[in-house]
């Protein structure tokens, strides 16, 4: 009987094929294709419109509106200019909104004297990233440097250096490396040499043109720089002992510092200074005229360009390590200029300390007057 019973057939239902992985990500891929097809500058202008007016641009569809809402917390608006802050909101980077602005940022960070100085892909990228933001920044910098004719001409052949002992310095402006570049082509101002002082801790460089490399002229330059930036514990160089003795004699007569300059291991000094000097000379060749008679005019800008370039050994710029702040960039300053109605105000702690110092000074003055009025009997109790 059980065998005679027929099993009920299930109704035929058409199977709906499950979505494949490719079909699931297809809408997302379409979104990214649309974003790539759209000019990146246009998207940032839509984002600026949303930050300025608080409403979406009428040309945006639903997906792009969602994209704008999602990324908008990473941007702020200041003086009607859009800045990228990222999730941390610790730094502000000016958002580039046009091809002209992108070209201006690349020119400033790579070509312009002082802020550019043709320092290569890595240095140019670090400078652009420190002040500007757009989506294709890294690729654009690489293509820009590769297409730079002067950079291709001045690239030096890289060689492997022997491993040498490293000079360990614990703090900034403690030990300086002294190096003399030259003789160079004589300029209109009769300069034929350049003196460089390198802070071995921060890699910050100071350079001055010299007419000669005599001990009196070199010592005068060193003393002026020490007056400007402060004294150091030691200055090392690879010059001769006779030259070092003359420098120490001049420095001790002016600053009363004995043995300020000493001779280090020649190879050790060259390791610290020679690379910097080669970079300075190579960069100067990108700016000087055919006769090379004006290199001393470009020397300050080239050295400043080195000081605002991130170093591999420290992972920071020498400027930041010495002054504890990043350098300001012209285009960013022009985008948000400071008005004439600014007020220089001290911190609350400084005001509180000033009030306490004034109260203490007034109390001492009153006690002093009281002691004098009593004939000086209690004058010994007043502490000045």
Supply the pLDDT for residue 220. 94
From CA 333, how far away is CA 318, in angstroms rounded? 21
More confident residue, 374 or 329: 329
Question: CA dihedral defined by 89, 90, 94, 95, rounded to 10 degrees?
Answer: -30
pTM: 0.59
Residues 6+ away with beta carbon under 8 Å from 190: 211
Which has more confidence, 312 or 69? 69
Distance (Å, whole) CA 370 – CA 129? 65
What average pLDDT score do residues 297-303 get? 90
pLDDT at 21: 45
In angstroms, how far is the first alpha carbon of the chain from the final one? 122
Q: pLDDT by residue (tens digit) across 14-32?
A: 444 444 444 444 444 444 4
> Per mean pLDDT, which range of 105-119, 246-260, 313-327, 350-364 is the poorest?
350-364
């Amino acid at each position: 009987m059980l065998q005679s019973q027929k099993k009920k057939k299930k109704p035929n239902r058409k199977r709906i094929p499950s979505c494949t992985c490719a079909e699931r990500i297809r809408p997302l891929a379409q979104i990214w294709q649309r974003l790539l097809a759209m000019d990146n500058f246009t998207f940032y202008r839509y984002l600026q419109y949303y930050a300025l007016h608080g409403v979406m641009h009428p040309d945006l569809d639903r997906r792009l509106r969602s994209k704008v809402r999602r990324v908008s917390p990473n941007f702020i608006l200041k003086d009607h200019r859009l800045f990228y802050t990222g999730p941390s909101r610790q730094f502000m980077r000016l958002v580039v909104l046009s091809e002209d602005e992108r070209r201006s940022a690349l020119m400033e960070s790579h070509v312009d004297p002082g802020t550019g100085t043709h320092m290569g892909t890595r240095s140019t990228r670090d400078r652009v990233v420190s002040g500007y933001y757009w989506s294709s920044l890294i690729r654009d910098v690489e293509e820009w440097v590769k297409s730079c004719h002067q950079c291709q001409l001045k690239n030096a052949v890289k060689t492997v250096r022997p491993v040498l002992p490293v000079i360990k310095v614990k703090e900034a402006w403690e030990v300086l490396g002294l190096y003399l570049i030259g003789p160079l082509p004589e300029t209109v101002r009769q300069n034929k040499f350049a003196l460089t002082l390198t802070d071995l801790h921060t890699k910050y460089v100071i350079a001055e043109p010299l007419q000669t490399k005599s001990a009196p002229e070199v010592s005068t330059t060193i003393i002026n720089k020490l007056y400007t930036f402060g004294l150091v514990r030691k200055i090392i160089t690879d010059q001769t002992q006779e030259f070092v003795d003359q420098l120490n004699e001049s420095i001790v007569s002016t600053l009363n510092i004995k043995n300020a300059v000493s001779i280090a291991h020649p190879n050790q000094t060259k390791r610290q200074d020679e690379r910097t000097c080669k970079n300075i000379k190579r960069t100067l060749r990108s700016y000087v005229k055919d006769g090379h008679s004006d290199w001393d005019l470009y020397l300050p800008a080239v050295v400043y360009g080195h000081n605002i370039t991130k170093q591999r050994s420290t992972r920071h710029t020498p400027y930041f390590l010495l002054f504890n702040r990043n350098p300001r960039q012209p285009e960013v300053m022009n985008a948000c200029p400071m008005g004439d109605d600014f007020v220089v105000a001290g911190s609350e702690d400084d005001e509180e300390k000033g009030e306490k110092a004034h109260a203490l000074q007034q109390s001492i003055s009153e006690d002093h007057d009281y002691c004098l009025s009593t004939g000086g009997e209690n004058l010994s109790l007043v502490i000045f």
